[in-house]
Structure 1
Amino acid sequence: MVRASTQAESPLIRSLQHGGVDLSVAEFGSGGSPSVLFAHGFGQTRHAWAGAATALAARGMHAVTFDARGHGESGRPAGGEYHMEQFVADLGAIAGELQSRDGRPPVLVGASMGGLLGLMLAGTAATPPFAALVLVDITPRWETRGVERILGFMRAHPDGFSSYDAAADAIGAYMPQRERKSEASLRPLLRQGDDGRLRWHWDPALLETVSHETERYQPQLFEAARRIKVPMLLLSGGRSDIVSRDTVKEFMGLVPHATHVDLPDATHMVAGDANDAFSDEVSKFIHQLN
């Protein structure tokens, strides 16, 4: 069931109910088919894609972002249990809705967890759910040290922050290559609890479930990647600690028809570090499909 928001803002914010939760969806532009569906990484929100989605909409495309369950403005399941199958099914529901509307599957742009979900769905679905895939700094095998660094940051502040300045300090220490976050940019990322403390938008229960499930799914991800026949682009960050030369080489062996582009100044947070270059590469790839 889809319920459109009554807000007159751009992008259009709406809710899609699936699997017992409401998924918060944002649509940028009203360009032609195929739509471009963005799936964010673990611990992020749809706002991670705002710059890229706005850039693609300005180029005449229709871009769609969403908060995964347990993240941002999307719902949290009763009981607080999360499993990768739920996330894959949610992604499939949104992709299926776009295909019904457009008459053809969307292009998926998936970062980190979002890319792994896309691989799993594309490699196991009976019919292709995506016209093409763009994987953003993720391969079926990843560097464990980089993942541990991300999880360490996510676990570092269980009691939240006393102010937006304190949160900005923590992000600045974690991502020193970025400009300092303003309060306005932090508001979508934090929730204020009854105790007045500011905590990240994601459900803490995610750390006890999904963060451990990706290792279990790794053999399936390899098999899924081998079965994908649609065009695929891997965009990696030259300064990433998640993707390395070895994991890229292995991935290109699994999917020899894929294209790889390295953005040398980007870390794992490719779109945030190099949004203009990132948007250019995604746009060029999509135009080559038509």
Structure 2
Amino acid sequence: MVHLASEPFMETAADGLPLAGEIWQPHGAPAVLFAHGLGQTRLAWRGAAAALAARGHRCVSFDSRGHGESGRVAGGGYALEQFAADLRQIAGRQPQPPILIGASMGGLLGLLLAGELRPAPFRALVLVDITPRWESSGVARILDFMQAHADGFADYAEAADRIAAYLPQRRERKREDQLRPLLRRGEDGRLRWHWDPALLSGLAQESARHQPRLLAAAARVAVPVLLLSGSRSDVVSRATVAEFLALVPHARHVEVPGATHMLAGDANDDFTAAIGAFIDTLDGAARP
């Protein structure tokens, strides 16, 4: 496989906040836009983006506000509409409506925009281990991990230990070069996560109240949809998948064996292969 380098870009959101991103194959087609989950960065997509770019696709990923290299909201006032507006803006910058690949929070934002806007800002939608109604116990486990290390870590080795305990299914331990973009060193010398702690007291805590709106949006989605889920996920279940497929009867569902909610990291090859097969079924899609 040809390994292509990405080109960084900086977008300015409607409220002036900087949004950091990168593009593979700037002149490729069709466009694929990646939206990460809460607490992640665009780095979560690098393997999949590079693989799809090698197939000829223009691949775009970015750090959501409050994450990674993107700006933080002064005073911590994060709202769903801000994230949705950012995603819509970056989608609108593409030469043609992109295929959105959204994990967790990113998938919910894509579902909302695809269901509520006409025309939809996306040509197709790939939801990565998320449905408009989710298992609250699985989400609580994620938030518990995010809240557990407010004081940060003494060094990268300690951070790697905590991640390994949280993701026991991963064979490889995180290296320092992999952790460096995910942690920030404070004035006290401690390493803390790249995301704004205010996200946990704002968007994350009120997410459940958006479920009726998300369910209604799902029922109005008209673009092609692929739902990818991990067989070991505790965020989606057979019940939530069945409900989603009833709301979106034209959607396809692929379960990736052995993968958890962190599907792209657990089984990136299977994840990318499933997305590539889906894209190949879309009219006018580029073939390898």
TM-score, with length taken from structure 2: 0.95
Per-residue CA deviation, residues 52-94 of structure 1 (Å, 9 max, x unaligned), is 0011111111111100000000001122210000000000000
What is the Cα deviation at residue 29 of structure 1?
2.1
Q: Structure 2 counterpart of 1:10, which letter?
A: A
The whole-number CA distance in structure 1 between the counterparts of 2:160 and 2:24 is: 28
Distance in 1, matches of 2:118 and 2:75, equals 31
Mapping of residues 1-290 of structure 1, within 5 Å: 10-18=5-13, 19-30=15-26, 32-98=28-94, 102=95, 104-178=96-170, 179-289=172-282, 290=284
- In structure 1, give the amino acid aligned to 2:236: V
2:178 aligned partner, one-letter code = S
For the 8 Å contact 1:231–1:257, the answer to whether it is kept is yes
Shift of residue 31 of structure 1? 5.2
Structure 1, unpaired ranges of 5+: 1-8
- How far apart, in 1, do the equivalents of 2:103 and 2:202 lie? 19
Percent sequence identity over matched residues? Answer: 62
* Partner SS state of residue 76, structure 2: coil
RMSD value, Cα: 1.0
CA contact (8 A) 1:20 1:77 kept: no
Return the offset for 1:30.
Answer: 3.5
Aligned partner letter, 1:12: E
Q: Which letter maps to 1:206?
A: L
Distance 1:247 1:173 in 2: 27
The alpha-carbon deviation at position 283 of structure 1 amounts to 0.9
Unaligned runs of 5+ in 2: none
Deviation at 1:16, TM superposition (A): 0.1
State the distance in 2 between where 1:251 and 1:69 align. Answer: 28
1:230 to partner: Cα distance? 0.5
Residues 97-142 of structure 1: CA deviation (Å, up to 9, x unaligned) = 11xxx2x200000000000000111111131100000000000010
Which deviates more from structure 2 when the two are superposed, residues 229-238 or residues 76-85?
Answer: 76-85
Q: How far apart in 1 are the matches of 2:130 and 2:27?
A: 28
User: 3-state SS of the aligned residue for 2:198?
Assistant: helix
Encode CA deviations 1:22-66: one digit per residue, 9 max, x unaligned. 000111124532210000000000000011001111111111110
Q: Which amino acid aligns with 1:11?
A: S
Question: TM-score when scaled to structure 1?
Answer: 0.94
Distance in 2, matches of 1:71 and 1:181, equals 19
**SS at structure 2 position matched to 1:139:** coil
Equivalents in 1 of 2:269, 2:72: separation in Å?
Answer: 33
SS at match of 2:204: helix
